[in-house]
Amino acid sequence: MKNPFSVKMIFLILSFFTSYLSAQEANFSDFVNGFELLLKGHTDSLEVDKLGFIRVVQFNCEGWDSFNQHELESTKNGEISFDRFRPITKKDIISVKDKYWVIKLHEKQGLKIHLATISTQGIPMEVFLLHDHYGYLYEKTIRAFSFSHPIHFNHLKQSFEFYQLTYGYDRIPTIESPTQDPIYHQTFNRVGVNENGNIELQTSEYTGQKLFRREHVKLVTHELAFQEFSVLYMSEEEKPQSQIWEEEYIIQSDRDSHDSITIHLEFESQWDNRFFFLQPRKGTTIVEVAQRHENIMSFPGDGSTCSLDKWKRFKSNWRDLNCEEDFFQTVSIDIEQRSLFSEYTQTELIKAFEKECGKVPSKESIKIVMEPSPKNTKIVVDRIILRIRFKNLSGIFDKFIIFQLSGGC
């Protein structure tokens, strides 16, 4: 004869699990309904904390041991609870497939950003840590694409790209020691999602590229002086190609009343991913440093090129360069941004071409030699503009440094 107490306990346990599963199914169903509303723009955000747990994906690659070990310390049996994440917005939705959704998850505390897959029934599938930032006494490691934009999605590959980095204790260099405390690019990695909704490592390769270096290099300081502050960068003494402008370029008395200065760069002069230091005058504080670029229309030919320097110039949005401790670094422009241009009609294009470049070539002449023609257009970057915002007792003001590229290179 069965013990009545045992029978009662079994019944209670079964009832508990039945209630739990019913509640989870309701949570999944609520999430699916909320996700559809988010997709259609009927709601601004969607809570995820009731979805329970999701399985963590890690890759057993050389050099990843410390990353994997650190990540596992914050999991429970290889899973992460959704109550660690903020509500998702429409910007967090990466792709919508027939059987699953791909989303980004941001932790409520700290800087961690995850890539996750959830089935179209609202059931969590897998999660992978895209971006992390942690440190210990003599070494810090970071998984990111860059400091200012840690998350980079390659639309062509439909995958996320990032570097595994190791860098010294002090992240921000100084004018006195601009090449110390190195940052090493250890590996370049690409992670995507396969047709079954599983997160995969598509590429992992050693780069060997160094951003900061420990080895001694003879440096030359170059200054651009406004009345309120100076902008400085360093070039290598034996590498003139590392110069952006020459040290004798600036005449202080000529710059005091100027709000902007244009610097004409040599062909293929490197302006991007460069380190700059600011020296504010007494009573001046740097508020923000931002960067934007301008694209123009060009018509290449055989031996000659015509460009519409003033017609419908495309101006990108300002991009914050995250100036810290009066130090900032310029950023590269991706291929997509380089090809953006203002809307136009073919009639407008031909009219602008004829005004600037002359008569449209005939078909016969094009067969002989390719002349600049509105049928052969090219979008090129013409300018890089740095905006330095500062404040003093008189208020908040802007100064601009314009890098005029050589031939729209």
pLDDT, residue 138, reads: 38
pLDDT, residue 166, reads: 64
- Based on the fold, state whether residues 185 and 307 are members of the same structural domain: no
- Based on the fold, state whether residues 347 and 302 are members of the same structural domain: yes
Instruction: Convert the pLDDT of each residue in 80-112 to its tens digit.
Output: 999 999 999 999 999 999 999 999 999 998 788
pLDDT, residue 378, reads: 82
Residue 285 within a domain = yes
Structure tokens at 89: 């917005």
pLDDT, residue 318, reads: 94
- Number of domains present in the structure of the chain: 2
Measured in degrees and rounded to the nearest 5, phi and psi for residue 223 equal -120, 140
Instruction: Quote the percentage of the chain above a pLDDT of 90.
Output: 34
Residue 247 within a domain = yes
- Based on the fold, state whether residues 75 and 195 are members of the same structural domain: yes
Domain around 265:
219-408
pLDDT, residue 179, reads: 63
Q: Which residue has the higher pLDDT, 97 or 184?
A: 97
Tell me: pLDDT of 408 over 80. Answer: no
- Based on the fold, state whether residues 227 and 180 are members of the same structural domain: no
- Based on the fold, state whether residues 162 and 262 are members of the same structural domain: no
Domain end residue (candidates: 206, 227, 254): 206
pLDDT, residue 237, reads: 78
User: 227 Cβ partners below 8 Å, 6+ apart?
Assistant: 255, 256, 257, 281
pLDDT band for 141, please (50, 70, 90 cuts). Answer: low
- Based on the fold, state whether residues 193 and 59 are members of the same structural domain: yes
Distance CA 91, CA 196 (A): 23
Residue 16 within a domain = no
Residue 91 within a domain = yes
Q: Which CB contacts under 8 angstroms, 24+ apart, belong to 222-225?
A: 222/246, 222/247, 222/249, 223/247, 223/250, 224/249, 224/250, 224/255, 224/261, 224/263, 224/401, 225/250, 225/252, 225/255
Q: Is 14 exposed, middle or buried (0-12, 13-18, 19+ CB in 10 A)?
A: exposed
Domain end residue (candidates: 206, 236, 258): 206
Stretch among 3-7, 245-249, 338-342 having the lowest mean pLDDT: 3-7
User: 323 Cβ partners below 8 Å, 6+ apart?
Assistant: 278, 286, 288, 289
- Based on the fold, state whether residues 274 and 233 are members of the same structural domain: yes
pTM: 0.51
Structure tokens at 6: 């045992």
CB 186 within 8 A of CB 165: yes
Distance CA 389, CA 287 (A): 5
Tally of CB atoms within 10 A around 166: 15
How far does the chain reach from its first CA to its final CA, in angstroms? 90
- Based on the fold, state whether residues 399 and 256 are members of the same structural domain: yes
- Based on the fold, state whether residues 382 and 253 are members of the same structural domain: yes
Write the Ramachandran bin of 53: left for phi over 0, alpha for psi from -120 to 50, otherwise beta. Answer: beta
Tell me: pLDDT of 260 over 80. Answer: yes
Q: Which residue has the higher pLDDT, 103 or 4?
A: 103
Query: Which of 57-61, 130-134, 199-203 shows the highest mean pLDDT?
Result: 199-203
Q: How confident is the model over 255-260, as a mean pLDDT? A: 64
Amino acid identity, residue 382?
Answer: D
Distance CA 148, CA 387 (A): 16
The DSSP secondary-structure symbol of 210 reads B
Instruction: Quote the percentage of the chain above a pLDDT of 70.
Output: 79
Q: Mean pLDDT across the chain, nearest whole number?
A: 80
Distance CA 43, CA 88 (A): 11
Amino acid identity, residue 386?
Answer: L
Tell me: pLDDT of 135 over 50. Answer: no
Give the largest CA-CA distance in the chain.
105
| Pick from 279, 378, 409, 276: nearest CA to 331 | 276
pLDDT band for 139, please (50, 70, 90 cuts). Answer: very low
pLDDT, residue 317, reads: 92
205-232 in b/e form (b: 16+ CB < 10 A) is: eeeeeebbeeeeeeebebbbbbebbbbb
- Based on the fold, state whether residues 199 and 226 are members of the same structural domain: no
Q: Which residue has the higher pLDDT, 392 or 3?
A: 392
Structure tokens at 272: 């991007």
Residue 85 within a domain = yes
Radius of gyration of the chain (CA): 28
The CA angle 131-44-107, to the nearest 5 degrees, is 25
- Based on the fold, state whether residues 62 and 174 are members of the same structural domain: yes
Residue 12 within a domain = no
Stretch among 113-117, 278-282, 308-312, 354-358 having the lowest mean pLDDT: 354-358
Q: Please report where in the chains the tokens 């027939």 appear, as a residue.
A: 98
